[in-house]
């Protein structure tokens, strides 16, 4: 009995140590990435870089800033996030409520979105570029918005579906037993999943705004501000990719742009947690 007790607790202690080490490795990797970006980027970053567009000699010397890339990223991602949410949220509630979890159509839809979720973003970009060539659309802000929307939808659907699964079936059945319609039940369900859906929405924005592969083929690149949806636009990830491969002083500019992008993603992550805590507290 004592040997079994000792073996059981030794096994538990070993697993506890392994879990702590795994957590420390993850935290260490995140901190090392953030420290590398901040230590290199803070030296090169200046107010001129984030407040001015590139000058006429930006491609031969450090002239002007990259305000066009910052605003270009927001111009591509924010409309795509809104469009993706308008498509994803009804899909999640349709699979969860109207077809329930055991329905064959829901199973096929989840399988399809699992596949879409795992497809690399560069494949989305290549597919969107092929479609754009077929219909005669050149690389533009509109193309970047469309491909980013395609990238966001699987993220939000799969995240939202997992969040909706946490709502007990008994809650839905209880609403129906009290005579509630599907629309009234939907409002009850929405109140329960809203904190998680907001988190999924903000995290999807964070992933999309940092993706360079998808917009590489579709949004193009420009040293000017896009005047319309048909104009190409610069984005921060693509600017970083271009500058990091160029001679000095452009790698320093790349680290400065990477610092701005990292701060945006960190703010979105921290904001999603704060909003989730507030909404969860109000739901109690």
| Whole-structure pTM value | 0.80
Distance in angstroms (rounded) separating the CA atoms of residues 43 and 66: 16
Distance in angstroms (rounded) separating the CA atoms of residues 185 and 173: 9
- Output the pLDDT for position 99: 62
Task: Report the 3 state secondary structure along 107-130.
Answer: HHHHHHHHHHHHCCHHHHHHHHHH
Please count the other Cβ atoms lying within 10 Å of the Cβ belonging to residue 251. Answer: 16
| Residue 183 half-sphere exposure toward CB, CA atoms < 13 A | 0
Question: Per residue in 96-145, pLDDT tens?
Answer: 766 666 677 777 888 888 888 888 888 888 888 888 888 887 888 888 88
Backbone φ and ψ of 124, nearest 5°:
-60, -45
- Output the pLDDT for position 9: 75
Residue 226: pLDDT band by 50, 70, 90 thresholds?
Answer: confident
CB 213 within 8 A of CB 125: yes
- Output the pLDDT for position 102: 63
Q: Is the dihedral of CA 150, 127, 257, 32 positive or negative?
A: positive
Question: Per residue in 260-275, pLDDT tens?
Answer: 888 888 888 787 777 7
Q: Is the dihedral of CA 181, 187, 192, 193 positive or negative?
A: positive
Q: For residue 250, is pLDDT > 80?
A: no
């Amino acid at each position: 009995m004592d040997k079994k007790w000792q073996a059981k607790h030794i096994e538990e202690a070993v697993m506890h140590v392994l879990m702590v080490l795994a957590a420390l490795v993850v935290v260490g990797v995140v901190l090392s990435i953030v420290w590398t970006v901040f230590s290199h980027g803070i030296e090169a970053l200046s107010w001129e870089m984030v407040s001015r567009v590139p000058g006429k000699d930006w491609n031969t010397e450090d002239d002007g800033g990259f305000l066009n890339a910052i605003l270009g990223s927001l111009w591509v991602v924010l409309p795509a996030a809104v469009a993706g949410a308008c498509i994803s949220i009804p899909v999640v509630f349709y699979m969860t409520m109207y077809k329930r979890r055991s329905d064959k159509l829901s199973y096929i839809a989840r399988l399809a979105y699992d596949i879409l979720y795992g497809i690399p973003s560069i494949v989305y970009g290549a597919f969107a570029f092929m479609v754009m060539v077929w219909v005669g659309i050149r690389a533009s802000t509109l193309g970047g918005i469309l491909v980013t929307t395609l990238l966001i939808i699987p993220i939000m659907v799969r995240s939202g579906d997992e969040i909706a699964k946490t709502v007990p079936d008994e809650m839905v059945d209880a609403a129906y037993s009290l005579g509630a319609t599907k629309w009234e039940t939907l409002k009850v369900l929405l109140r329960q999943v809203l904190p998680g859906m907001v988190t999924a929405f903000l995290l999807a924005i964070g992933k999309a705004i940092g993706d360079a592969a998808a917009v590489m083929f579709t949004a193009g690149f420009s040293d000017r501000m896009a005047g319309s949806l048909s104009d190409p636009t610069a984005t921060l990830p693509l600017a970083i990719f271009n500058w990091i491969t160029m001679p000095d002083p452009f790698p320093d500019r790349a680290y400065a742009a990477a610092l701005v992008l990292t701060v945006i993603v960190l703010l979105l992550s921290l904001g999603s947690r704060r909003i989730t805590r507030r909404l969860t507290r109000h739901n109690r």
